[in-house]
Amino acid sequence: MPVATEQKVSAWDKFREIVADRHAYAKEWKLRTGGKAMGYMCTYVAEEVIYAAGVLPVRIMGSREPQDVTEPYIYGMYCPYCRDCLAQGLLGRYNYLDGITETHTCSHIRQAYDSWQKFVPIGFNHYTYMPADVRSPRAKDMFLIELNQLKKALEDWTGKPITDAKLDKATRAYNTNRQLLRQIYNLRKQDPPPLSGLEAMYMVMSSFWMDKAEHSVLLRQALAEIKQRPPRTDSKLRLMTIGSENDDPELIELIESFDAQVVIDEQCTGTRYFWNKVVPQEDRLAAIAQRYLDRPPCPMKDLQEVRQRPKWIMDRVKEYKVQGAVLVRLKFCDPHEYDLPIIRRTLEEAGIPTLTLERDIITPVGQFKTRIGAFMEMLQADII
């Protein structure tokens, strides 16, 4: 009888599997490597320093399930993301983490971090201050001091020095991963794109929990698989998603269930996470600090009178030939609530129609389906 051959799992199926069972990967990685895992919530955390310490950075994210455990620990009027993240800790979902760290962004994330390190048993915690005004001439010097303190705290905790060679290795791993993500995102400029917005979301989100070297192997496999896909001819409306953290694939799937495709995003579960690389300097931590100061900013880091975000968004609109934008705002997310009217005005003055959706822990599928459907009909009518 012929010997059955094991069928290779597609990279795209693997991305989806990692997102669906995110905790399993980190637990298996710890068993396989003997290493530690470090939780964080905001993508301003300098992961390269953690990775150089031999520790796996794991982004803490919610489950998008109703919960009633956070009220004693955090205000109910704080954003759903930080409340859902804290709930995961209180419920023991991240009990495999050896430590938790955070970098200064909004007060809601800070409160979630403070409550976690006080009420969820954990072996290590460290808070890194990052200037709110990333374009200040003093920002780099200040952030560099903070990263040196993070490095020292990690060395004391692990008992191992973080050498320049280790920082170089970590930086190469992260830069390679970012370059591959950019390479696949560039393919979405095509009309029609060879991958969906949902696939892109699973691809980026899976990188939050995977060892970057291992994730890059999957990205190379994904690139090879894309080349084998037959050319598509079903051109659809080209949309961009903008705004608060969005870790809900169901929302992107809902948008794309209409005659539309998300071709680019401006969110921390997408481009803001990986868009720019570390440019090498003699001082390795200074190079890492500069990368995070220069990355596409969230509203908390875009505080000067001449704001960066509108121009960055409009550059992507032109580059990806965007025809409409969905502005996603988390309930009680003050930074984005302040920022999105400016973004909306910029887009609409450029002739790009917008739809604003406000998310809670649970996505209201029925309500959103009606609103998205009406928006798509309007876009189709405008194009015709």
In a domain, 132, yes or no: yes
pLDDT at 68 over 90: no
Sheet holding 260-266, edge to edge: 260-266, 237-243, 324-330, 354-359
In a domain, 254, yes or no: no
- The predicted pLDDT at position 5 comes to 47
Residue in the structure block whose two tokens are 């390479």:
183
34 phi-psi bin (left φ>0, alpha ψ -120 to 50, beta other): left
**For the purposes of burial, counting CB atoms within 10 Å of the CB of 137, is it exposed (0-12), middle (13-18) or buried (19 or more)?**
exposed
Which of 68-72, 92-96, 227-231 is the most confident on average? 92-96
Q: What is the mean pLDDT of the chain?
A: 93
pLDDT at 26 over 90: yes
For 255-270, the pLDDT digits (tens) are: 999 999 999 999 999 9
- DSSP character at residue 209: T
3-state SS assignment for residue 81: helix
Cβ(121)–Cβ(15) below 8 Å = no
3-state SS assignment for residue 322: coil
In a domain, 371, yes or no: no
Residue in the structure block whose two tokens are 């390679």:
176
Cβ(376)–Cβ(238) below 8 Å = no
Q: What is the largest CA-CA distance in the chain?
A: 73
3-state SS assignment for residue 12: helix
How far are the Cα atoms of 36, 43, 168, 339, 344 from residue 102, in angstroms, in the given order? 17, 9, 22, 23, 30
The pTM of the full predicted model, rounded to 2 decimals, is 0.94
Tokens linked to 316 = 């992507």
For 113-133, the pLDDT digits (tens) are: 999 999 998 999 999 999 999
In a domain, 3, yes or no: no
Tokens linked to 337 = 């609530």
In a domain, 307, yes or no: no
- The predicted pLDDT at position 263 comes to 98
pLDDT at 59 over 80: yes
Give the lowest-confidence range in 181-190, 239-248, 296-305: 296-305
Kindly report the CATH number assigned to the domain that includes residue 82: 3.40.50.11890
pLDDT at 222 over 70: yes
In a domain, 295, yes or no: no
pLDDT > 70 fraction of the chain, expressed in percent and rounded: 98
In a domain, 57, yes or no: yes
Count of domains observed in the chain: 1
DSSP, residue by residue, 63-76: ------SSTTTS-T
- The predicted pLDDT at position 66 comes to 80
- The predicted pLDDT at position 384 comes to 58
In a domain, 53, yes or no: yes
**For the purposes of burial, counting CB atoms within 10 Å of the CB of 76, is it exposed (0-12), middle (13-18) or buried (19 or more)?**
exposed
Distance of alpha carbon 324 from alpha carbon 363, whole angstroms: 21
Domain that holds residue 76: 16-158
How far are the Cα atoms of 2, 8, 14, 52 from residue 5, in angstroms, in the given order? 9, 9, 19, 38
Mean pLDDT of 266-287: 96
Cα-only R_g, the chain: 21
Reported as a pLDDT band with limits 50, 70 and 90, residue 6 is: low
Distance of alpha carbon 266 from alpha carbon 312, whole angstroms: 9
Mean pLDDT of 12-36: 96
